[in-house]
Amino acid sequence: MKPYKNEGPIRLVLADVDGTLVICRRMLQRARLNSSGSTGLLPGFTPIRYLEAVAECEKKVREELGDHVSAARSQPYYLDVTHPAANKGSVVDFLACVYLIPKSSIATLGDMPNDVLMFKKSGMSIAMGNASKEVQAEANFVTDSNEEEGFAHAIERFVLH
């Protein structure tokens, strides 16, 4: 986890939705069904091979396009490739400017690599307990998982304390 320096009260909270606020039971069910060896996404790919292919694609996009794009996974099986300014970090910049709130007074919560982009711009960042170790390492704090009311606990513990 990254150190946190308290620079005043949090005035704005930004949160990811899927995996942070919403438990997607349908995706969990689908993953269980897919453990039989077919994904329904690409013929012949097992779930593990599909995730490995997405990770390899992310690596190649970053190597070949560098900072000309923003490339981050919003789910283990989705790679978002956008204009470099069209990402969650830019949303933090935009809202801070529009509402005249210092970025140090903004808290962000998320669980996926694309949420790290907003973690880097906000004063306080909170990773969900269901986030990967890599995402958790980029946050100031880690809360419980989304299935354990992690969002509510984070607000109580870290924002309202």
N- to C-terminal Cα separation, the chain: 19
What's the predicted TM-score (pTM) here? 0.76
Tell me, what's the pLDDT at 144?
A: 95
- Please name the residue ranges forming H helices in 99-149: 113-119, 133-137
Rounded to whole angstroms, the Cα distance separating 31 from 51 reads 12
Is residue 112 within 8 Å of 87, Cβ to Cβ? Answer: no
Residue 108 clears pLDDT 70, i.e. is over it:
yes
Rounded to whole angstroms, the Cα distance separating 108 from 96 reads 12
Beta bridge partners of 8: none
Average pLDDT over the chain, rounded to whole?
Answer: 85
Rounded to whole angstroms, the Cα distance separating 118 from 87 reads 8
Tell me, what's the pLDDT at 30?
A: 52
Is residue 77 within 8 Å of 41, Cβ to Cβ? Answer: yes
pLDDT band at 135, cuts 50/70/90?
Answer: very high
Residue 43 clears pLDDT 70, i.e. is over it:
no
Tell me, what's the pLDDT at 40?
A: 53
Structural domains of the chain, ranges and CATH numbers in brackets: 12-24+84-160 (3.40.50.1000), 26-82 (no CATH)
Is residue 54 within 8 Å of 77, Cβ to Cβ? Answer: yes
Is residue 15 within 8 Å of 108, Cβ to Cβ? Answer: yes
Phi-psi region of 35 (alpha: psi -120 to 50; beta: other; left: phi over 0): alpha
